[in-house]
Structure 1
Amino acid sequence: MPTQPPLSLIPYRPATDGPLLRTWVTTRAELMTWAGPSFSWPLDEAQLTAYAAEPDRRIWTALSPTGEPVGHVSLSGTRLGRVLIAPGARAHGLGSALVSRAVELCFDELRLPEITLGVWAHNTAALRIYEKLGFRTQQVIKDVEQVDGTPWSAVQMRLPAPDRSQ
């Protein structure tokens, strides 16, 4: 298995990263997959400005080793979310690298006691990443949203902090 490319996380820059995000989310279903029902279609600058101003939210842009923005992730309290890889960078292990780096930051730098997240049940690629990193399902909420006439179920997951006493 090839090694994952290293990514760095930098604070979200609304002026440059917001317009980029809007090019990465091009359909109503992609918006729901990325952010759940918290945004409305079409994604616009006003919504992203409000998102960036949420007082308890930390937002990062993932950069490739060459400095190219290739992903996005945020944290609200202990809840990781809004994980997104740029369309042109998908299928190269960056999703796993992004979530791994975010988990590392949450536990090693922010010293969180746990990380929680929600993911759509049909998003099997994301589920595999989270499970591989040790996240475990806490609850499945059946048919919580309807998208284009199809019911979507949500999987709530949790990862406790590693034992720091060693």
Structure 2
Amino acid sequence: MALRAFNTQDYSLLIHWIDAEKLNYQWGGPSFNFPLDVTQIDEHYNQANVFPFIYVVQGTEAGFVELFKVSDTHFRICRVFVSEHFRGQGIAKLMLANLITLTKQSYRAELLSLAVFNTNTTAKRCYESLGFVETALEKGERSWDGQVWDLITMEMRC
């Protein structure tokens, strides 16, 4: 199990995974329109402060995660996704643990942050189990199909 750099050959995989409008919004927030396409992916991942990764389990692509450089010592974890075939196996926690280690060692991060919708209790528990703590709650910032989704900000000191 390992993280590897996301590259242009992976675009079709990500498009295949993010296959519904609601999922696209949950995964990408307002940064991506549905359907996800090569142009959007290319524009986003060609930014100098964005570091995307694929998580590989026994030779198979199992997940995706993005690291965003906020400053030289602060990085934000974004767009966490686990393939349907690997859900319920603790892959997200393993992938994120690998990313945390990489971020500390390779990028010398002192602070990691992330945001999670309050409705995504499974993800929130996963982040808490890795040492993230809630630092803010943005009420009414996002909505989907008439439902308001509050956004929880979480942080971890490295």
- The residue correspondences of 1:11-160 to structure 2 (distance < 5 A) are 11-15=5-9, 17-64=10-57, 66-77=58-69, 78-160=75-157
Structure 1 runs of 4+ aligned residues shifted over 6 Å read none
2:4 aligned with 1:10, yes or no? Answer: yes
Aligned to 1:92, what secondary structure does the other structure show? Answer: coil
Q: CA deviation at 1:85?
A: 0.5
Tell me the percent identity: 27
Name the aligned partner's letter for residue 63 of structure 2. Answer: G
Q: Quote the Cα distance in structure 1 between the aligned partners of 2:27 and 2:130.
A: 20
Q: CA deviation at 1:45?
A: 1.0
More strand by share: 2
| RMSD between superposed Cα atoms in Å | 0.9
Deviation track 1:21-73 (CA, whole Å, cap 9, x = no partner) reads 11111111111111111101111111011122011111111100x21111111
Q: Which runs of 5+ in 2 are unaligned?
A: 70-74
Q: Quote the Cα distance in structure 2 between the aligned partners of 1:49 and 1:121.
A: 29
Q: CA deviation at 1:108?
A: 2.3
Answer 1 or 2: higher relative contact order, Cα 8 Å, separation at least 6. Answer: 1
Q: Quote the Cα distance in structure 2 between the aligned partners of 1:13 and 1:35.
A: 18
Aligned to 2:47, what secondary structure does the other structure show? Answer: coil
Give the length in aligned residue pairs: 153
TM-score (norm 1): 0.89
Q: Which runs of 5+ in 1 are unaligned?
A: 1-6, 162-166
Name the aligned partner's letter for residue 157 of structure 1. Answer: M
TM-score (norm 2): 0.93
Q: Quote the Cα distance in structure 2 between the aligned partners of 1:11 and 1:146.
A: 32
